[in-house]
Amino acid sequence: MTITKYIHSCLLLEKDGQQLLFDPGKFSFIEGLVSPDEFANVSYIIITHDHPDHLDVPALKQIVSVSQAQVWSTGEVAEKLKPEGIAVNEIREGTFQLGPFALRAISVPHEPILDNKLPMMFAFLIDEYILNTADSLDDKLLTYKGVDLLMLPVTAPFLTELTVARFTERLQPKQILPLHDGYIKPFFVTQRYDNYEPYFAKRGIHFHRLEKPGQGITV
């Protein structure tokens, strides 16, 4: 499987000739560094929760228009997108299959933020060896201790470097793919990565430095 990052939490997974897109949010498109047309071959789109940095409605409409992709998300997102003419397959907790991708949807709480109501949200275990935590560092995710690849928010209003380090040390993944860093300047992303990479290397965890849109890995 190849995994390509397109700023913040927007990830394109490709396997057996099919593509799955996670969380095309506003930070991916706002500066024109990424275009919705780049996702014309996507078959499936998953929106983990209803926050604008994970769901850019105009961009999603354009992606669906050029790709005819299926959209999967929470009931809240389904209600939001109904007036936009976008059909959403509502996700339930448990396992399901999207083409070659085997998925386990895990209902998790969003980390606390200054908001009146936190959205419904799912984390995802992909093919039994990749964990996308969305915006959660909940203890429920420790069930997947030792997972091969951890897709993890590394900058956010709801966390610090120490929070990230503690959670990761408890989960003990083999690799980290950093997420949720699209709202800070590139020089600050580099500074954060400069802190994280050697820290995790000392603990036997490989930190993938995906700093520019379109960079990716194969796992």
Please, which residues have CB within 8 angstroms of residue 65's CB and are 6 or more apart in sequence? none
For position 114, what pLDDT does the model report?
87
Average pLDDT over residues 167-182: 98
Model confidence pLDDT, tens digit, residues 113-157: 987 789 999 999 999 999 999 999 999 999 999 999 999 999 999
pTM of the model: 0.97
Question: Coil, strand or helix: which one is 98?
Answer: strand
196: its two tokens: 């994280």
Q: Encode pLDDT of 27-66 as tens digits.
A: 999 999 999 999 999 999 999 999 999 999 999 999 999 9
Beta bridge partners of 71: 45, 88
Torsion angle, CA of 133/24/186/155, rounded to 10 degrees? -20
pLDDT tens digits, residue range 55-95?
999 999 999 999 999 999 999 999 999 999 999 999 999 99
In this structure, what DSSP letter does residue 93 have? S
- pLDDT for 117 equals 84
pLDDT at 88: 98
Dihedral angle sign, alpha carbons of residues 113, 55, 92, 164: negative
> Residue 96 — very low, low, confident or very high, per pLDDT cuts 50/70/90?
very high
Report CA torsion sign: 134, 149, 198, 34.
Answer: negative
